[in-house]
């Protein structure tokens, strides 16, 4: 078993309110859940109108498939309209076989 958690630090430049930020972030979160079948949540900067941090957790049977999924997820986030990807941080879960 292989598992990873990734955190995307995002800038939402056109957001003028928290409501406007959520209107940009919500479709991204729902898209990640539906397309990649991963656990996802806004994990930081909830009170800042132009910043967001999205956390994603996923598990796979092989490291190769997990790395491929992480790459696909990062491309999806980077391509979302209305956000700029500032940073990506990946944490790998150590497993014992």
Pairing of strands 2-11, 84-93: antiparallel
Predicted pLDDT at 46: 87
Q: What are 18-27's pLDDT values in tens digits?
A: 999 999 999 9
Residue 59's alpha-carbon distances to 14, 19, 30, 92, in angstroms, are 34, 32, 18, 10
Is pLDDT above 90 for 40? Answer: yes
DSSP state of 89: E
CB 55 within 8 A of CB 41: yes
Mean pLDDT, rounded, for 84-97: 86
Banded pLDDT at 68 (limits 50, 70, 90): very high
Which domains are delineated in the chain? 2-93 (3.30.70.1120)
Name the residue among 86, 90, 16 with its Cα closest to residue 53.
86
Predicted pLDDT at 62: 87
CB 2 within 8 A of CB 63: yes
């Amino acid at each position: 078993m292989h598992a990873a958690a990734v955190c995307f630090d995002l800038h939402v430049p056109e957001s003028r309110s928290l409501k406007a930020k959520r209107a940009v972030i919500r479709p991204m979160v729902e898209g990640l859940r539906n397309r990649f079948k991963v656990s996802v949540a806004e994990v930081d900067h909830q009170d800042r109108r132009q910043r967001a941090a999205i956390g994603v957790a996923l598990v796979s049977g092989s490291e190769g498939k997990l790395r491929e999924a992480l790459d696909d997820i990062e491309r999806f986030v980077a391509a979302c309209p209305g956000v700029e990807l500032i940073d990506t941080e990946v944490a790998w879960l150590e497993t014992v076989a």
